[in-house]
A and B are shown apart, each in its own frame.
Chain A
Amino acid sequence: MTRLTLTLRERPSQRLDLSPLVPHLLAGKSAREIERIELQTTRHRVELGEVFRLRMGEAEQICVEGGCERLDYVGREMASGEILVEGDVGIQAGRLMSGGRLTVRGNAGPWAASGMKSGVLEILGAAGDRLGGPLPGEIGGMRGGIVVVCGNTGERAGDRMRRGTIIIEGDAGPYAGARMIAGTVIVCGSAGVLPGYLLKRGTIVLGDRCDAVSPTFVDCGVHQLVANRFMAAMIESHSKSAARLMRRPLRRLAGDMAVLGKGEIFVGYETI
């Protein structure tokens, strides 16, 4: 299958909305129709053909060559197929994704995977604040799917997450997994202060150091649980380091007792 390739001509003069460039919206469109898709986020009109050189192919596989932090909403509401970005992306990459695979070979801005429902989002660089988190006014964050960040993440990764799995192979910023309703956040590196702040349900796994865990989490001892082995087997194809971490004996901290207290933080750094 020949993939549809978009090569960035130069750094865009304004932030661009790339949400129309998802497989199910491009399917059946001609090259001319694609080049005339409007991408502007200001009053100044920008057509795709002005900023990208288009090489036609199957819309099920889209490749964006040359990334930029001004490319916003990449893969928004993506339902199927694959998008590969060879570079950085802006805000809300993979927001409301319901299927398919989005790969960013660079860094992603804030709110990547926000409200994601299904599919796979892989960020080979770092991700900004509120990975998988809700936008202002929304009740829930990520609702399904798998997010893998090879680098570090900003504040509040997994904020108000309801379902799904976030794997951070690098370090997580403060408040990772804050206000989680359910789901799983795995941090292979270190975590900033107060992971799982106001955690209701859900699982946070911390592999390395943590600046401060809230005293409202209670120690339940060190365990090597079958469930974690099962999880390890299921995430192994996405992250070998996260799978290794899940197979280790981990200390279980139940909480956050300041709220419902049915969640848990597994810490590996005390059990090495």
Chain B
Amino acid sequence: MPGLTVKGIRIDDTFAEAFGMRATALIITADSAKWARQAAVTMTGMATSVIGCGCEAGIDRELSSKQTPDGRPGVRVLLFAVSTAELQKQVQTRVGQCVLTSPSSACYSGLDGEEMLRLGDGLRYFGDGWQISKRVGAKHFWRIPVMDGEFVCEAAAGLTKKAVGGGNLLIIGRTAQTTRAAAEAAAAAIAKAPDVIAPFPGGIVRSGSKVGSKYKGVPASTNDAYCPTLRGAVKTALDDDAGSVLEIVIDGLTSDAVASAMRAGIAAIVKLGAKRGATRISAGNYGGKLGPHHYYLRKLLP
């Protein structure tokens, strides 16, 4: 595929194709940053892909005690799903099982959305009649008595329908080690970008998928065109020097946030250089026919 070369890294003249999603942001606080992070990590666990997890979720950023509603350390998490109903279900289940249960935690809306999702309004029933509703100004929250005191939870969380899921970078290198180094650098840069998450383990996915399978009922299967061990056996997308491919998938609250994160990721890979990192950057798409958001790599170069 023709493209540019920057610092010895080939950049394909292609684009990442992404889709509209529903998303919300939550702020989880606790007595310490450790426990706020613990609740957030637990809540966003097993949320790598909507295909098998119902939602994609991750930590957007950590918040200091000055940035949270109750003056304690906190974490902002983002959750993405394909429908409002599914997102509602995931929020309720995950906050109920992972945040409500976590010592000293509290949960607030982290987004002023055009519509609202039920948060404390659904979880309040755990209080078995002892829950207390409080409304101050525009804020409405619930106090649910639990064994370490009270679980404070805002009644509703903002929902956005302008979220984007599926922004991506394909990072191709000579060896597994150098490719991973490039992907780690990109993931670290993307982690600092606001309003986005990279939901896969450490922000990186090694099992990129294509739509469909030879097996009936399997919605996605291995992206054989990017598997280096199949290079000679299939219609490959890899060059002869490619020994490993990793992907970074990015979900963002807005299309601009996804573009900025991709730009930061590419810049980090380029900065590492071809010798220590990747030799080529590409992106996954479906020919532009499925997703309305197209991120051209040449427009995101540093």
Contact = CB atoms under 8 A, between A and B. Distances in A.
| A, B co-complexed | yes
B130 A226 contact: no
Contact of A230 (B104, B130, B149, B152): B152
A161 to B, nearest CB: 12
Interface in A217-264: 223, 225-227, 229-235, 262, 264
19 contacts: A146-B136, A165-B136, A182-B133, A201-B132, A223-B149, A225-B150, A226-B29, A226-B104, A226-B149, A226-B150, A226-B152, A227-B141, A227-B150, A229-B72, A230-B70, A231-B134, A235-B136, A262-B130, A262-B132
A234 B72 contact: no
Interface in B66-96: 69-72
Contacts of B141: 227, 230
Contacts of A227: 132, 134, 141, 143, 150, 152
Contact-residue size bin, chain B (C-beta under 8 Å from the other chain): 20 to 34
Contact of B72 (A203, A226, A264): A226
Q: Which 6 pairs, one residue from A and one from B, show the smallest C-beta to C-beta distance?
A: A230-B70, A234-B136, A227-B143, A229-B70, A226-B152, A227-B152
Nearest to B142: A227
Nearest to A183: B135
B135 A230 contact: no
Contacts of A229: 70-72
B217 interface: no
Interface of B: 29, 69-72, 104, 106, 129-130, 132-137, 139, 141, 143, 149-150, 152
A73 to B, nearest CB: 25
The A interface, classified by DSSP as helix, strand, loop or mixed, is mixed
The B interface, classified by DSSP as helix, strand, loop or mixed, is strand
Contacts, number: 53
Nearest to A254: B130
A235 B137 CA distance: 9
Nearest to B68: A233
A233 B71 contact: yes
Contact of B149 (A144, A146, A203, A225): A225
Given A226-B149, A227-B150, A233 B132 contact: no
A184 interface: yes
Contact of A226 (B106, B132, B133, B139): B106
Nearest to A264: B132
Given A165-B136, A226-B29, A227-B132, 4 more contacts: A146-B137, A226-B72, A233-B69, A234-B137
